[in-house]
Amino acid sequence: MPKYMAIYHEVRRRIVAGLYAPDKKLPEGVKLAGEFHCSELTITKALDLLVREGLVLRKRGLGSFVKRQVSAASNSHLIGTAQRCAWQGKTLTTRVQRYTAVPAPANIAQKIQIAEGKLVHEIHRVRVIDSTPSIVEYTWMPVALFPHLTLGHVQQSIYAYITDELGYTVHSAHMKVTGHIASEQEMAWLERAEPVTLIQVEQTAFLDNGKLFEYSCARHLWQTFNFETDFVRV
């Protein structure tokens, strides 16, 4: 794991634990650099992630402050289902229904901005939260970008593989939330006997180098779906 990622996780842990309280100033960069035996630039990279996540606010000339408690930010879809469940104290298991590499059809190629026919990982998963099948996830990712993605990563956390093993930073996403009537296959996967309307979250996600790395479509039971965000007037 890159040094800045390790520092990010530790500072985030302290915020979650209340060691750095809301509205309080974080230690100066030079002090954190001394504690973690690194450069101030490395500290800045770590804090940048917390700023993007909405946990830290920079005030010009004053420093960095804890913006809010983690509960309001913990539902971010940019951290992945596994990490989100871990922060909420919920158990998660994954049932992989399909994992293969296929030539990208025209609609998927357009979504992730690659040439039609280029290989993509196609992943269908059911996420079981606290023993309840709750989410059907369909994901497509360029094989060229993640040539060493394995079934083990898919069974655990793809986002953890991207950030912790590869050292990439998930930067941003475009999301669209709509309703979707579950197909017969989805009803079977979710163990539902009666027709059900799911909350559908379509997402195209970007790394901090600007590369579009994922198109996904997650269909949630409404009972287990929770999404929060902030709007800032600029």
pLDDT, tens digit, 9 for 90 and up, residues 14-58: 988 788 888 889 999 999 999 999 999 999 999 998 887 778 888
Report the domain count for the chain. 2
Q: Which residue, of 51, 72, 93, is where some domain finishes?
A: 72
**66 in the same domain as 139:** no
Alpha carbons 146 and 182: distance in angstroms, whole number: 30
Q: Which amino acid is at 123?
A: I
Instruction: With respect to residue 51, please indicate whether it lies within any of the assigned structural domains.
Output: yes
Chain centroid to Cα 179, Å, comes to 21
CB 220 within 8 A of CB 198: yes
Query: Would you say residue 229 lies in a domain?
Result: no
Same domain for 112 and 217? yes
Domain end, chosen from 48, 72, 96, is at 72
Residue 54: domain span: 3-72
Report yes or no: 42 and 1 within 8 Å, Cβ to Cβ.
Answer: no
Proportion of the chain above pLDDT 90, given as a percent: 61
Residue 234 within a domain? no
Least confident span in 27-31, 70-74, 105-109, 182-186: 70-74
37: helix, strand or coil: coil
121's enclosing H/E stretch is strand 119-129
Helix and strand numbers (H, E) in the chain are 8, 8
**Which among 101, 70, 104 has a CA at the least distance from the CA of 87?**
70
Question: Which strands make up the sheet holding 170-181, listed edge to edge?
Answer: 92-103, 119-129, 132-142, 212-220, 197-207, 170-181
Which residues are CB-neighbours of 110 under 8 A, at least 6 positions away? Answer: none
Note the pLDDT tens digit of each residue in 188-229: 999 999 999 999 999 999 887 778 999 999 999 998 887 766
45 and 132, same domain (yes or no): no
Residues 101 and 87: beta-carbon distance below 8 Å: no
Helix ranges, the chain (H): 3-17, 29-36, 40-53, 81-87, 106-112, 151-155, 158-160, 184-189
